[in-house]
A = this chain, B = another copy of it.
Amino acid sequence: MAAKQKVQIKKIAISTGGGDAPGLNAVIRAAALSAIMRGWEVYGVLDGFHGILSPEEYPDGGFVPLTRDRVRGITHLGGTILGTSNRNNPLKYPIIHPDGTREEVDRTDEIVRGFRLHHIDALITVGGDGSLAIASVLAKKGLRLISVPKTIDNDLDKTDVTFGFDTAVGFATEALDRLHSTAASHGRVMVVEVMGRYAGWIALHSGVAASADVILIPERPYDIHKVVEKVKERESQGSKFTIVVVAEGATPVGGGLSVLEHEAGRAERLGGIGEKVAADIHEISGKETRLVVLGHLLRGGSPTSFDRLTALRFGAAAVRGLEEGYSGVMVALDPPQVKYVPIEEAMGKMKMVPMGSDIVLTAKDLGISFG
Contacts and interface: CB of A to CB of B under 8 A. Distances in A.
Contacts of A309: 205, 208-209, 359
A144 interface: no
B173 A320 contact: no
Contact of A181 (B78, B177, B282, B290): B78
A60 to B, nearest CB: 14
A369 interface: no
Interface string A14-53: 0000011010100001100110010000000000000000
A175 interface: yes
A362 B315 CA distance: 9
Given A304-B304, A320-B361, A365-B320, A75 B211 contact: yes
A316 B177 contact: no
Contact of A182 (B20, B161, B319, B365): B20
Given A24-B185, A166-B305, A170-B305, 13 more contacts: A20-B186, A73-B211, A75-B209, A161-B335, A170-B304, A177-B300, A178-B297, A181-B300, A208-B312, A292-B295, A313-B358, A316-B365, A320-B365
8 contacts: A22-B181, A174-B301, A179-B300, A182-B296, A270-B291, A290-B296, A292-B296, A316-B358
Interface of A: 19-20, 22, 24, 29-30, 33-34, 37, 73, 75-80, 83-84, 86, 160-161, 166, 169-175, 177-182, 184-187, 190, 205-206, 208-211, 265, 269-270, 275, 278-279, 282, 289-293, 295-297, 299-302, 304-306, 308-309, 312-313, 316-317, 319-320, 335-338, 357-359, 361-362, 365-367
